[in-house]
Structure 1
Amino acid sequence: MRTFDYVRATDTQEAVRLLADDPAASCLAGGTTQLDLMKDGILEPPRLIDITRLPLHGIERRGESLHVGALATMEELAAEPTVAERLPVVRESLLLGASVQLRNMATIGGNLLQRTRCRYFRDPGVAECNKRSPGSGCAAVMGAARMHAVLGVSERCIALHASDLAVALVSLDALVHIQGPTQRRTVPLTEFYITAAESPERENVLDHAELITEVEIPLPPPTARSGYLKVRDRVSYEFALTSAAVLLVIDGGTIRQARVGLGGVGSKPWRAYEAEHVLTGAPVTTATFLDAAEATMRDAWTVPGTEFKVPLARRTLVRELQTVSGVTS
């Protein structure tokens, strides 16, 4: 790891100003991704701006939405009573997303901004990586690619977005509140991320001198049912091969509202609008769920090593739809 300057920001405006003054600086919060990338030699910021003391730690319910400070930890959000009562899909994604030790360190904002776990991106000895060096190629397309994406990808990049929480939040139409040097703005999380097919080197719409200050989660109707299923190689802490975040409102055997997010398959947390279209207004049956899963994965783009994710993602979604709805046949 190279040497760097360390600065502790005392308020949000100061942090934004420090970022604006130094285009090469990086922020430090929980550090669970940032420090790993620095140790690997992927990131070499000349200055780290410590934002852990900024007043962005609170979690507050305001009417029918939950406002989560960007520096609240994963463990704090998982323990929030409103999350347990109204947002089981969020709670399950948090508990399945990391060990207790990591959940007590990792922040919500940092989780949403985590970088890909692509082995080629994280190996500075691999020259062909469009995410690190635009125009250099993508070693994963011709290499071992089992843990890579099949949606939102192309021959330019097949890197996977690994966040579990973000998959749940995109399914809930969460909003990201952002502070910049001259203005604040709010971006739907479904519009926050950029696919690898669009721009491998840029993963989200956040400008360098902007900070996520808060995540706003609209609360679903009290009658909604939700859950998160994560399929992985081992039960202990591991990244998803496939995952599904599901929220359903069911009335009289008919699905009145459906929200679906997919993980382990997309270069960004994937909102499965095709599945929602099939589900909404349809009967609560396994046949409906199979149709929704088929529609979701219709445009998957695979390479040798990722083909298995297409049928696995379908089965993952069907299983979680069955679990949430209580219908197994």
Structure 2
Amino acid sequence: MKEFDYRRAPDVMGAVTLLDNDPDARYLAGGTNLVDLMKSGVERPARLVDVRELPLDRIEPSPDGGLHVGATVSNSDLAAHPEVRSRYPMLAQAVLAGASGQLRNMATVGGNLLQRTRCAYFTDTTKPCNKRDPGSGCPALSGEHHNHAILGASESCVAVHPSDMAVALTALDAVVHYETAHGQGEVRLDQLYLPVADTPHRETALPAGALITGISLPPVSVAAHSRYRKVRERASYAFAIGSVAAALDVRDGVVRDARLAFGAVASRPWRARTAERALIGAPATAETFAASAEAELAAARPLPHNGYKVTLMHNLTVAVLSELTEAVAR
């Protein structure tokens, strides 16, 4: 591991100042992803700025009736919070599906959003990777790609985003708040991650040196009737091969509102807006759910060994929406 300078930030502005104009510095919170990447040589920061002790560890009501979640709230605390569990159950379920208990105790909300892909070519520094070394190529295109993207990929990168939490937050229209040396800013979660295009090394819309300070959850009534379902290759802790975050408002047998996002199918959490449009105003039936999934997945461009994800996501979407409809009826 490369030697590095370590600083503990005294406050938010102190943290931002320590990172300002230093491309070789990184923020350190739980370290559950960054430290692993440092050990493998993917990340080689010259300085770590420890932000874990900053006063950003609270979950509080926001003025609009939603919730504000501080960036250093642990994943465990987020999943256990009574307001999150009752008002945004898909978020609590996504967090609990995301890692082992030990990791959830260490990992933070802000760090979870910035974790990097688990693509084997990205984490192996002996292999080319456009995300790690721009212009070097993407060997996953002709190599091992059974868990790679079917939506929104490009010839430059077909890796998927690993976060479960971010999928639920995308469906909930969450807003990310950040601080820079030039002031505060915010970006909607569904706009945080950049399209992969031919610049996969540029992953987020955050300004250079920005520190995530928190996330706002809007007061979305449909979110109380929500669910997160994750499919993985083994029952124990593992990353998704496909996941669905869904919220549904059904009245008199008709879908009045719907929120839907997919995970493990693209370089970013995939907001299924085409499916949402097909759902709203339609009868809450399995046929409607199937048609909405087909409409969203019409844009899928699977590779030779991951076409199974199209069928998987279709069936998973229908199953989750059907379960939500039955729960509302009871």
Q: Indicate conservation of the 8 Å contact 1:225/1:325, yes or no.
A: no
Mapped to 1, the partners of 2:111 and 2:224 lie a distance apart of 28
- Which AA in structure 2 matches 1:305? H
User: Any stretches of 5+ residues in structure 2 without a counterpart?
Assistant: none
Secondary structure of residue in 2 paired with 1:49: strand
How does the TM-score come out when normalised to structure 2?
0.96
Instruction: Write out aligned runs for 1:53-132 (5 A).
Output: 53-62=53-62, 63-127=64-128, 129-132=129-132
**Aligned twin of 2:31:** 31
Aligned-residue CA RMSD (Å):
1.2
Secondary structure of residue in 1 paired with 2:221: coil
| 1:157-201 deviations in Å (ceiling 9; x for gaps) | 001001001000000100001101111111111111112235311
Mapped to 2, the partners of 1:223 and 1:27 lie a distance apart of 32
The structure-2 alpha-carbon separation of the partners of 1:202 and 1:222, relative to structure 1 and needing over 3 Å to count, comes to: closer
**What percent of counterpart residues are identical?**
48
The structure-2 alpha-carbon separation of the partners of 1:281 and 1:222, relative to structure 1 and needing over 3 Å to count, comes to: closer
**Aligned twin of 2:324:** 324
Instruction: Write out aligned runs for 1:1-329 (5 A).
Output: 1-62=1-62, 63-127=64-128, 129-197=129-197, 199-221=199-221, 224-326=224-326
How does the TM-score come out when normalised to structure 1?
0.97
Mapped to 1, the partners of 2:153 and 2:104 lie a distance apart of 29
State the Cα distance separating 1:82 from its structure 2 match.
0.6
Q: Indicate conservation of the 8 Å contact 1:68/1:214, yes or no.
A: yes
- Which AA in structure 1 matches 2:82? P
User: Any stretches of 5+ residues in structure 1 without a counterpart?
Assistant: none
State the Cα distance separating 1:304 from its structure 2 match.
1.7
Q: Indicate conservation of the 8 Å contact 1:9/1:54, yes or no.
A: yes
Secondary structure of residue in 1 paired with 2:283: coil
Mapped to 2, the partners of 1:50 and 1:249 lie a distance apart of 42
Mapped to 1, the partners of 2:166 and 2:205 lie a distance apart of 15
- Which AA in structure 1 matches 2:4? F
Mapped to 2, the partners of 1:46 and 1:185 lie a distance apart of 26
- Which AA in structure 2 matches 1:283? P
Q: Indicate conservation of the 8 Å contact 2:134/2:199, yes or no.
A: no
| 1:86-139 deviations in Å (ceiling 9; x for gaps) | 111001001111111111000000001110011000000002x11011111101
State the Cα distance separating 1:23 from its structure 2 match.
2.1
- Which AA in structure 2 matches 1:292? S
Secondary structure of residue in 2 paired with 1:326: helix
State the Cα distance separating 1:325 from its structure 2 match.
1.2
Mapped to 2, the partners of 1:181 and 1:118 lie a distance apart of 33
Moved over 4 A (4+): none
Mapped to 1, the partners of 2:117 and 2:223 lie a distance apart of 35
Q: Matched residue pairs, number?
A: 326
